Amino acid sequence: MRSAEPAGALDEELLLRVEGGDDRAFRELFARYAAVAHALAFRLVRQAQVAEEIVQEAFLAVWRNPERYDRTRGSVRAWLLGTVHHRAVDAVRREQAQRRRAEQAASLGPTVEDDPVDDVLAAIDLPRDRRLVRRALTELPVEQRDVIRAMYFDGLSQSQIAERTGLPLGTVKSRTLLGMRRLRASLEGLER
């Protein structure tokens, strides 16, 4: 992925203004990422109210402590959406009904109706970034895609995936790494 691109630079600029107490900058950052963050949280927790709470908590943390962002560890987008993902996964793993939901989610076949990797051909009219990420996921070898989808979009741990698929744990990890490397190469053109 390219670094120091306009989108990433704008995000950093907005975050600096947020640190100065600029709520307009925060609102702009919120407008840029809240809906994606909400989609991610909902995809993981499958409960609208919980997903909204996760998004609100994550953005509240950004509003209160914008200085926690460290540009040497990646883009604002990666930091922000990573925070949402951490919180959503924590919620999933705390949830008493996690086992039942995970079993539904981890069939490792096609899952929810808007699965990001299922329908790239119908995605011609999508915004460029979404199309690019969907295509990158679709182009992964299926065994790598399934592991990454189960881990990231369904919130399963490496050992849960190994248990459910019967794969050795080492295979789950190696497929994850190979998939991540391939995705990185495919997403070179994505703005940070």
Partner 1 sequence: MTRDHALIDELLAVRALDGLDDDDAALLARELAAHGDCDECRRLETEHAEVAGALPLALEPRPVDPGMVDRIVAEPQRVAGTAGATAGTSDELAERRDARLRRWQTAFGVAAAIALILAFVLATRPDVSVPSTLVRFEGESGEVAMAYTPGESGVFVWGNDLPDPGEGNVYELWMFEGGEPISGGCLSPTDGSVAAFVDADLSSAQQMAVTVESADCPDAPTTDPVFTAELS
Q: In degrees to the nearest 10, what's the CA dihedral of 60, 65, 71, 74?
A: -30
CB of 121: closest distance to partner 1 in angstroms? 14
141: nearest Cα among 105, 173, 182: 182
- When the beta carbons of 71 and 100 are compared against partner 1, the nearer one is 71
Say whether residue 12 binds partner 1 (CB under 8 A): yes
Please pick, from the candidates 7, 10, 95, 116, the single residue that binds partner 1 as defined by CB under 8 A: 116
Number of residues that bind partner 1 (CB under 8 A): 85
Residue 56: how many CB atoms within 10 A of its CB?
14
CB of 97: closest distance to partner 1 in angstroms? 19
How far apart (Å, rounded) are the C-alpha atoms in residues 57 and 45? 15
Segments in 20-111 forming alpha helices (H): 23-45, 48-64, 76-94, 98-105
Binding mask 18-57 for partner 1 (x = CB under 8 A): -xxx-x--xx--xx--xxxxxxx-xx-------xx--xx-
The strand pairing partners of 132, in sequence order, are none
CB of 117: closest distance to partner 1 in angstroms? 7
Q: Which of residues 60-99 bind partner 1 (CB under 8 A)?
A: 60-61, 63-75, 77-87, 89-90
Say whether residue 158 binds partner 1 (CB under 8 A): yes
How far apart (Å, rounded) are the C-alpha atoms in residues 82 and 58? 10
